[in-house]
């Protein structure tokens, strides 16, 4: 089986992989196109975010930057996964 056939067999679609690739490029490889709240999260570090709590950090930054809290919460998860927040 080729990779394309395996992807179809297991139900993986092209947009899914495009989104994963975009997140890897954004938060792991190139770290470009980062918003101001991304840079603030990097400066805060993982310990401070965990101390305050992800939900509260998301809420505070959402008010400060005019972004939805769920967007920031999702980005925190991605940044932790790809090691952008240390």
What is the pLDDT at residue 50?
A: 94
Q: Is pLDDT larger for residue 16 or for residue 43? A: 43
Contact partners, residue 67, CB within 8 Å, separation at least 6: 35, 37, 61
pLDDT of residue 10: 72
pLDDT band, very low/low/confident/very high, at 33 (cuts 50, 70, 90): confident
* Residue of 23, 24, 62, 57 whose CA lies nearest to 43: 57
pTM across the whole model: 0.77
């Amino acid at each position: 089986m080729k990779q394309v056939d395996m992807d179809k067999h297991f139900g993986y679609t092209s947009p899914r992989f495009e989104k994963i690739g975009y997140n890897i490029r954004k938060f792991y490889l190139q770290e470009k196109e980062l918003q101001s709240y991304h840079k603030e999260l990097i400066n805060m570090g993982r310990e401070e975010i965990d101390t305050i709590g992800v939900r509260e950090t998301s809420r505070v930054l959402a008010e400060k930057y005019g972004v939805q809290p769920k967007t920031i919460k999702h980005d925190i998860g991605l940044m932790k996964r790809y090691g952008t927040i240390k």
